[in-house]
């Protein structure tokens, strides 16, 4: 069985501030988080009023976050005493080191935090682009997803980035996602995984776009995807339908799988809710035609 939170805090990268306070903190460029051991109330009562349970530790840890040291902490929930913490930048640095170890420069990073600073997604774009007539320059991406409240395990995903007006449309595969249990791999193994994706990206991305562009969906398939999106909100479905109409007017016939994918990804790239963003990416992925070699490599990554 895993040791209690307080006994693992230091090895998880947290700093303890006074053992008597049960306070553990971590900060980086993205935010600050503080975990506090909870106790039952009525600690300062007279002996004759005291109950055996007064001041007893509770097996949950309170979470407080803030964006910077200039802002007050806010209570944002709690985690189990056996929660496994990993700092946002600790995880991001593992990815940066893996990318740089295979000689690939990083173009830019796009960190997105949830309103309460308990969830982070960082899209790390890599300088190894391919050019396609339908989309222009396409870059490989590694997406880091982490949470401080136990609602999502730390993950690393692979994806693609495309220009969209004056911004970027970014998509992460759910296929090939590495969970925290696998992220602790040795540096050499992580290097091999990154190398595998860089190679399959350069060799297969054009085929994925071409095959998806040439794959015409049926009306039933298209409505099925839009109905799925409507579960996340009618306004989202309407907005994606509008983007799809721009890509393929109704009088031009049914759209291709790539056009549906592109409409969803263009919308999801600007979706602030990180849970919805991931669900929309899954919907987009469901229409893609992924070449067998690329599929096999992504599947191997997720099980490595």
Flag whether pLDDT at 236 surpasses 90: yes
Question: Residue 163 has what pLDDT?
Answer: 87
Flag whether pLDDT at 19 surpasses 70: no
Between 44-53, 86-95, 217-226, the lowest mean confidence (pLDDT) is in 44-53
Flag whether pLDDT at 46 surpasses 80: no
Please give the mean pLDDT across all residues of the chain. 91
Q: What percent of the chain has pLDDT over 90?
A: 72
Q: Which residue has the higher pLDDT, 285 or 133?
A: 285
Average pLDDT over residues 215-243: 95
**Per-residue pLDDT band at 185 (split at 50, 70, 90):** low
Question: Residue 169 has what pLDDT?
Answer: 94
Flag whether pLDDT at 25 surpasses 80: yes
- pLDDT tens digits for 213-226? 999 999 999 999 99
Question: Residue 52 has what pLDDT?
Answer: 81
Average pLDDT over residues 41-51: 74
Question: Residue 182 has what pLDDT?
Answer: 60
Specify the pTM.
Answer: 0.91
Flag whether pLDDT at 22 surpasses 90: no
Contact present, 285 and 174 (Cβ < 8 Å): yes
Question: Residue 186 has what pLDDT?
Answer: 64
Average pLDDT over residues 266-272: 94
């Amino acid at each position: 069985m895993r040791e209690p939170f307080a006994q693992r805090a230091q090895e998880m990268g947290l700093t303890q501030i006074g053992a008597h306070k049960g306070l553990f903190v971590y900060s980086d460029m993205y935010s600050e988080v503080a975990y506090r051991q909870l106790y039952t109330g009525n600690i300062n009562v007279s002996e004759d009023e005291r109950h055996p349970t007064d001041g007893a530790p509770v097996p949950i840890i309170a979470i407080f976050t803030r964006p910077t040291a200039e802002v007050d902490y806010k209570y944002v929930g709690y985690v189990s005493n056996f929660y496994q913490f990993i700092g946002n930048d600790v995880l991001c640095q593992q990815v940066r080191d893996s990318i740089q170890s295979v000689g690939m420069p990083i173009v830019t990073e796009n960190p997105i935090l949830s309103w309460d600073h308990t969830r982070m997604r960082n899209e790390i774009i890599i300088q190894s682009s391919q050019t396609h007539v339908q989309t222009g320059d396409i870059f490989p991406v590694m997406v880091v997803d982490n949470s401080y409240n136990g609602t999502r395990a730390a993950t690393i995903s692979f994806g693609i980035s495309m220009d969209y007006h004056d911004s970027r449309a970014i998509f992460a595969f759910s296929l090939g996602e590495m969970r925290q249990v696998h992220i602790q791999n040795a540096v050499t193994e992580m290097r091999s995984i990154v190398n595998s994706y860089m190679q399959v990206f350069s060799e297969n991305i054009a085929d994925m776009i071409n095959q998806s562009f040439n794959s015409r969906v049926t009306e039933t398939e298209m409505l099925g995807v839009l109905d799925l999106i409507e579960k996340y909100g009618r306004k989202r479905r309407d907005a994606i339908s509008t983007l799809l109409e721009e890509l393929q007017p109704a009088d031009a016939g049914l759209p291709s799988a790539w056009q549906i994918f592109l409409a969803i990804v263009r919308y999801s790239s600007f979706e602030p809710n990180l849970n919805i963003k991931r669900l929309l990416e899954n919907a987009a992925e469901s229409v893609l035609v992924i070449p067998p070699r690329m599929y096999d490599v992504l599947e191997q990554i997720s099980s490595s």
